[in-house]
Structure 1
C-alpha cells in the first residue's frame, strides 16, 4: 500500500498520511521516493523571507489604500468573508459593494495578516501594483452592462510559477527574482473573462522539486508559508501552499495552483479548501514554470465548489502551443451544477481507509444523497521510475521554458545554470540544499527508455482505477486528501477534493473524488451535492 504521501508536489508524508506507523516502510519500499525527505515540517531554518519585506510589497499600493480604514473593513466583513463568487457579484449588483472596495478589502486583510506579525502566514509573494485602478475600471464597465463572466472583477491570486505581466514569476527562487514575462495562457484567459490578478501566491520552491529536505511551503523569495488552522502545528501541504493558505484566510476570491502529483489536492485538503486537479490538457500549461510536461496542470483552489466551477470555465481553452491541450466542453461547468445529483451514482470506497472516521461519515452522507457505495481494495500496482519521469521531464522542460517563456535577459538555459547560481548564493538561495535538482542534473536516458517509463506509468496508473471501476461499474473512486494523487497523476485522471471535516487535533481533511478523463462536470456535481449536504468548511478561528 502506497499513499504517495503529502509532497507539496507529491511526496511530503507528514499529516496527510493515513497511517504514520508505516512511514518508514512506505518510503523504503520504492527506490523512486527513497531520496525524498520526511523532515519534520516544523523544523524551520527560516520563517520570514530574507528577500522581500512588507515595505517593498506595499510601496506601490500604500497611497491608494489610504482611504480604506479599519472601520470600513469591519463594516464589510459580513458581506465578503467566506462568500462565494455569485454572492459577491450579487452584493455588487445591489450596490452594497464595488470591485474597487472588494479589492481593497482583500488587500487590507493581506496587509493585516500575511507578514511580519504574530499571525503571519507568508502566503503572498507579490501584489499587482495596478489592481486598484483595474478594479475601478471594472466598476465603470459594469455600469455599461459589460459583465462577461461570473469571474468578472473577482480578485484572483496566481501561484508564483504562473506567468503574468504585472509581477515577476519567481517559482519562489532567488535565481528568478527578476523574471518578468508575458502572460501565461491561463492568465490571459482569466483576464479575457474579466478576472483581476490580485497578486502572486507563495509556493514550495520550484513546485517542491528542488531541495528534497525543506518543509512544504518554503521558498527563498516568499519565506515559510504557514497554515492558518495551526501556524506551527499543521502542515500547509504543497506545492501550491500559498494558494491554499490564501484561500483559507480569505485573501482573495479564488486562487490558481498547479499540480504534478498532489500539489493542488494536498494544500487544498490541508487548508479546508476545494481543489480541482483537471484532466491533463484541459487547461493550458504554456507560460507555467514546469516540472513535467507529461503530468503538469494548473487548477483552481477555492472556498467552495461553485467557485471552482467558475474558475474552470474562465481558464479553459484550446492552446495550440501545448501539445496536450484538448478542446474544452462548450457548456458551462458552473451552470451544470444546477443539475447536480448523486442518485444512482456508484462510487468505490477503499477498504484500507475505513479506519478514518471522517471518510466513513462522508460515505454515509453520499449514501443518504442517493449514491451507491462499493467497498474495494487497492490494486497492488507499482509506479516504477516515477521520480525518473520527473527528473527527465524537468531537465528538458525547464530548458524549454527558459527559451520560450522566461525573461530574455536571464542568463540561464539549463538547470545546471540555476544550480550554479544557487551555489554562488547558497546562504539565501538554498538553505536546505538542492538535492532534487542534483538528481535531475545527473539523470539521463535514451528516448526509447524514457518513452517506456512514461508508457508503463500511464498504463499502471490507469489500471489502478480502471480495474475496480470496470469490474464494479463505478462512476468514480473516493479517496482522502492526496492519498492517491500519484496514481491519478500518471493516469492523467482528474481529481477534486472538498472539505469533509477536521481531526480531533483540528487538522482539515478532504474527501477526494477521482474519475476518468474529462469528467470534470461530474466531479464538480458530486462534490457540490456533498458540500451542500454537509457544509463542513469552517474558517480558521484567528483570521476573522
Structure 2
C-alpha cells in the first residue's frame, strides 16, 4: 500500500499508527513487557478523596442521565435538580476506581486524581445556586462543572506533570498551563491526569503505544488484549471512551490526538497549529505541538474548543449553532484512492455522497517530508531544556534530554524497559544553526502546503477526507487542522475514525462537516464491557 510506505516516518513518531498492516495491534497483551505501573497504587491515586469515592453509590438513574450524554444534556439535568456537579464528579471518580486499575477490566488510563476536584465541583454548585437565585439565564453550552481529564504532559499546580516518565514524578509545577487556566476560568472541574505514551511517544521508539513508566500500559476498552490504544494521547482517548470523564484534553505533534481518538471511537480535534497556547505543556516541537479536545461527540468538542481559548466562535453561548443545520451538500472533498481498501471508508464516502457532497479522487503521490525526524530531534533538543528552565518544578532547572537519560539508567528495568532509542537520537542529532534550521522547517511546511493547495485550486476543493491518523504527518507539517469522528467498527470490533482535513485556519469547517456526518451515521457505541 503506497500511502503506508510514504508515511512510515510519521507513524512511529509522536503517535502510534492505527493501521494493523504497519504495526501489530493484534498482539496479545502477553507480548508487552509491562502492564501495571510499578509506581502507582490504586488507593494512593485518590488520596484524601478515597473514602468518599469508595462509599459513593451511583444509582441506575444517574447512569441513565450521565453515561454517553453530551455536555448540554448533562447541564440540563443538573440545572433541573436531578443531580449536582459534586455527584457528577463522584460518579466519574467511582467509575475510575472500579474499572481503571488492579482488576480484570483495568485500563490503566489514569495517572493522577486532582485532590481539589470535589472542591471545584462544589464551587460550580454554589455558582449555579446563585445564578438561579438571581434569575439569570442558564447556558447548557458551557464546561462549568464538567469533569475534564488532562494528558499528563500539561502543567497543573495541584498535581505533578510527569509526561509518564519516572524522572518527573516530583514535577509539581508552580503554575498551570495557559489552557488549564482557561478551563478553570470557565468553571471546569479538572478531574485528574491521563496516562500517555511516555514523553508523548518520543522516547523509546520500539515500545507499544500507551505505555509509560509511571502509568503502565494503557489498554483499549474495545479490546484490552487485541486492539491498540493509539498514541500518544492514549489515556485521554481510553478514558473518554470508557466514560471516566465528560471529556479529555490531548496533545498532538503528528497524529497523537487523531490516532487514539480513532482507536477509541471518540471525536478528536487537532487545530491549526498555534490556535491554543502551548505555554506550560512539556514539548516535543514548539513548531508543531498543539493541544486539542477529545470528546464523545462533536458538540462537546466545540464547547471544549471555546473554553480552551479558540480565537473564533464555533458555537454561540446559547448554543444556537447546535449543528442541526450542518450540511455536506455541495462540499467538495479530495479522497485518496488507496484508502478505499478499507470498507468502512468506502461506506463513509457513500454516505457523504448521498448527503450531497462531491468527491474527487486523488492520486496517491504524497510529499516525502524527508527530515521530519531531524526536525523533531532538533526541536526537542532545544525546547525541552527551555521547559525545564522556566516551566517545570525548580528541582529540574538545568535538566535536558541527556540528564533524563542518565537518571533513567539508575534503575533501567523500572524506568526504561523498552530502552530510550529516540532520546539517544536527539543527542546524536548534529547541531544546526538557528537560521538554517528555521529555513529547513519553513521549507518543509511550504512544500506540504503547496501539495494541498495545488489540489484545492485544481479541483476547487473545500477539504480532504482521510482515515484515523493516516495523513497526520502531512497535516501537521502544513499546520492544517483535522478532526476525526467515529466511522464504525471492523469485523473484529476495532474502531476506525473518518478524518476531515481543512485548510489552514479554516477550523470551523471541520465542526460542520463532522457534525453533519455524525448526525447521519451515529456510529459511536460505548464499549460493552464498561456499560454498567
Common topology (TM > 0.5): yes
Structure 1 alignment gaps of length 5 or more:
25-36, 318-327
The reply on whether 1:534 has 2:521 as its aligned counterpart is yes
Distance 2:213 2:186 in 1: 33
The reply on whether 1:396 has 2:388 as its aligned counterpart is no
Q: Tell me by how many angstroms 1:505 deviates.
A: 1.0
Whether the 8 Å CA contact 2:150–2:193 is kept in 1: the answer is yes
1:303 corresponds in structure 2 to 296
Question: Using a 3 Å threshold, how does the CA distance of structure 1 residues 517 and 11 change in structure 2: closer, same or farther?
Answer: same
Task: Identify which of 261, 271, 275 aligns with 1:268.
Answer: 261
Distance 1:108 1:66 in 2: 7
1:225 corresponds in structure 2 to 218
1:168 corresponds in structure 2 to 160
The reply on whether 1:94 has 2:80 as its aligned counterpart is yes
TM-score by length of 1: 0.91
Structure 2 alignment gaps of length 5 or more:
none
Question: Using a 3 Å threshold, how does the CA distance of structure 1 residues 248 and 11 change in structure 2: closer, same or farther?
Answer: closer
The reply on whether 1:252 has 2:245 as its aligned counterpart is yes
Offset from partner CA, 1:304-343 (integer Å, 9 cap, x none)? 10111000000015xxxxxxxxxx1256376544342212
2:331 corresponds in structure 1 to 345
Offset from partner CA, 1:240-280 (integer Å, 9 cap, x none)? 00000000000000000000000000000000000000000
1:150 corresponds in structure 2 to 142
Q: Tell me by how many angstroms 1:414 deviates.
A: 1.4
Task: Identify which of 92, 108, 112 aligns with 1:106.
Answer: 92
Whether the 8 Å CA contact 1:7–1:208 is kept in 2: the answer is no
1:16 corresponds in structure 2 to 19
1:31 corresponds in structure 2 to none
The reply on whether 1:47 has 2:39 as its aligned counterpart is no
**Aligned to 1:378, what secondary structure does the other structure show?**
coil
**Aligned to 1:257, what secondary structure does the other structure show?**
strand
Q: Tell me by how many angstroms 1:453 deviates.
A: 2.2
Distance 1:9 1:251 in 2: 27
Compare 230-239 and 132-141 and name the one that shifted more.
132-141
**Aligned to 1:477, what secondary structure does the other structure show?**
strand
**Aligned to 1:464, what secondary structure does the other structure show?**
helix
Output the aligned Cα RMSD: 1.9
**Aligned to 1:486, what secondary structure does the other structure show?**
helix
Task: Identify which of 517, 520, 525 aligns with 2:512.
Answer: 525
Whether the 8 Å CA contact 2:148–2:248 is kept in 1: the answer is yes
Offset from partner CA, 1:502-535 (integer Å, 9 cap, x none)? 0111110000000111222110110001001000
Q: Tell me by how many angstroms 1:64 deviates.
A: 2.6
Q: Tell me by how many angstroms 1:39 deviates.
A: 11
Offset from partner CA, 1:465-508 (integer Å, 9 cap, x none)? 22211110000100000000000000010000000100111110
Question: Using a 3 Å threshold, how does the CA distance of structure 1 residues 38 and 59 change in structure 2: closer, same or farther?
Answer: closer
**Aligned to 2:359, what secondary structure does the other structure show?**
strand
Q: Tell me by how many angstroms 1:536 deviates.
A: 0.3
Matched ranges for 1:304-323 at <5 A = 304-316=297-309
Compare 136-145 and 119-128 and name the one that shifted more.
136-145
Question: Using a 3 Å threshold, how does the CA distance of structure 1 residues 51 and 508 change in structure 2: closer, same or farther?
Answer: same
Whether the 8 Å CA contact 2:302–2:314 is kept in 1: the answer is no
Offset from partner CA, 1:431-473 (integer Å, 9 cap, x none)? 1111000000111222243123202320222133222111100
Compare 236-245 and 413-422 and name the one that shifted more.
413-422
Whether the 8 Å CA contact 2:15–2:200 is kept in 1: the answer is no
Distance 1:62 1:451 in 2: 50
Q: Tell me by how many angstroms 1:542 deviates.
A: 0.3
TM-score by length of 2: 0.93
1:322 corresponds in structure 2 to none
Distance 1:459 1:371 in 2: 29
Distance 2:276 2:66 in 1: 28
Q: Tell me by how many angstroms 1:366 deviates.
A: 1.1
Q: Tell me by how many angstroms 1:38 deviates.
A: 10
The reply on whether 1:192 has 2:185 as its aligned counterpart is yes
Task: Identify which of 230, 255, 260 aligns with 1:237.
Answer: 230
1:422 corresponds in structure 2 to 408
Distance 2:221 2:202 in 1: 24
Task: Identify which of 469, 494, 511 aligns with 1:482.
Answer: 469
Matched ranges for 1:342-491 at <5 A = 342-443=328-429, 444-491=431-478
**Aligned to 2:394, what secondary structure does the other structure show?**
coil
The reply on whether 1:61 has 2:54 as its aligned counterpart is no
**Aligned to 1:460, what secondary structure does the other structure show?**
helix
Compare 145-154 and 519-528 and name the one that shifted more.
145-154
Question: Using a 3 Å threshold, how does the CA distance of structure 1 residues 236 and 41 change in structure 2: closer, same or farther?
Answer: farther
Compare 157-166 and 353-362 and name the one that shifted more.
353-362
Whether the 8 Å CA contact 2:209–2:228 is kept in 1: the answer is yes
Distance 2:28 2:457 in 1: 39
Distance 2:393 2:208 in 1: 29
